[in-house]
Amino acid sequence: MSLRPTWAEISLPRLRRNYALLRAAAPGVELMAVVKANAYGHNAALCAPALVESGARWLGVTCLDEGIAVRQACPDARVLLMSGIWQGEAEAAIEHGLTPVVWETAHLAEIKEAAAQRGIASFAVHVEIDSGMSRQGVRLDRIEAFAAALARTPHIHVEGVMTHFHSPEVLDDPATARQLENFDQALARLAAAGVTPSIVHAGNSATALTPAMTRAIAALGNKHGAAAMVRPGLSLYGYAPRFSGEGAAAENTELQPVLAWKTRVISLRTIEPGETAGYNATFHAEKPTRLALLPVGYADGLNRLLSNRGAVLIRGQRAPIAGRVSMDLTIVDVTDIDGVKLGDEAVILGEQRAERSWARITADELAAIEGTIPYEVLCAIGPRVPRRIAEDENGDA
Ligand SMILES: *Cc1c(COP(=O)(O)O)cnc(C)c1O
């Protein structure tokens, strides 16, 4: 086992609380807990069981491998393969009791063959409708053709029909209402062709946190005689979507980040005016400068765009990143922090006690520096960083 002092702490109490907050925010719809991409970098084997204990009956993953891993952690949960199946995967999906999303006739052919071979009469799938994102799903002009293909595939049973919104966090974007109308129309035309799902689902964290949308999706389910579901991901892990537009709510500040990413000071030196630090000497000391070395780099997912721009927390204060982030190491400037010593904890993401309060660095902050979204910051934390259950709940102050 590696004793390298770079790790991520996962707070299961926070994960459960975030789930409960979302539940309360979205009455009338079920919530599928999205745990794709290893629970957005948080470790699905830790997070998925906690979400199931909190009441999640459905878990969303992207692909077969993720589905098998989640199945091992959660033997009784329903697991949706949201990016469908690839050639040759239907048999394993059936074996592990995973539920694929389908929208290509090739998906149906794959499942039909595998189900027939295993003597399965009725394998549940969810059909995705492309209501306007043009990413995946049956296009509106292909609904009847797809329903006919389903009718030719007796081994398949359409349990759910779903769609995905492209801009649900832009509250005054009429595109979302149009997508919902398209979804409604698709459901009506599927019903006319004999396809009557028991669950309809749409949307993500932004949808779950927008009461008008959860009401609309609940009403849509009602209209089509189906249960309604929304699929939050990011918000489970404590990050609210960036709402914009008319009616944008204040940020949901009650959600709390589940992951803290930490490391320790492994070396210290003081450099003189005129000396430089790191690759290509992009950091120049103008005065005697105390530098601390951290065993974390871009190979761990600490983005190189944070070079000379990001910071970490040491002793409750910000230590700016000095020079370029290396593959495995990062130098920080601790000149203004008293008493830094070898072994001191450095927080890359998360909270640290400051004098009277808590200092914090969020994935939103790093995303802003990197020109990306918090999703990518969290998913980028690499497999070299072990995820551990947080020992104590210390960031509630
Ligand atoms: C990732 C994903 C979600 C969850 O989205 P968040 O923005 O993380 O809440 C929901 N539905 C589908 C189809 C997804 O791919």
* Residue 113 in domain: yes
Binding residues for substrate: 135, 327
Distance CA 72, CA 98 (A): 11
How remote is the CA of residue 203 from the centroid of ligand 1, in Å? 7
- Please identify which of the residues 112, 237, 239, 279 carries the catalytic annotation: 279
CA-based nearest residue to 41, from 334, 347, 383: 383
For 158, the enclosing helix (H) or strand (E) is strand 156-163
Token reading at 178: 């149009």
Query: How many A from CA of 100 to the centre of ligand 1?
Result: 15
Mean pLDDT of 104-132: 96
Q: How many domains does the chain have?
A: 2
Indicate whether 276 belongs to any domain.
yes
pTM of the model: 0.96
Q: How far apart are CA 352 and CA 368, in angstroms?
A: 21
Say if residue 29 is in the same domain as residue 125. Answer: yes
pLDDT in tens, 239-287: 999 999 876 665 566 999 999 999 999 999 999 999 999 999 999 999 9
393 domain-assigned: no
| 237 carries an active-site annotation | no
Tokens of 42: 């948080």
pLDDT tens digits along 30-75? 999 999 999 999 999 999 999 999 999 999 999 999 999 999 999 9
Q: Indicate whether residue 82 lines ligand 1 (CB < 6 A).
A: yes
Same domain, 95 and 162: yes
- Give the pLDDT mean for 142-156: 96
Cα separation, 62 vs 204, whole angstroms:
14
Residues spanned by the domain of 334: 259-361
pLDDT number for residue 396: 46
Has residue 5 been placed in a domain? no
Residue 226 CA from chain centroid, whole number = 27
Question: Is the CB of 271 within 6 Å of ligand 1?
Answer: no
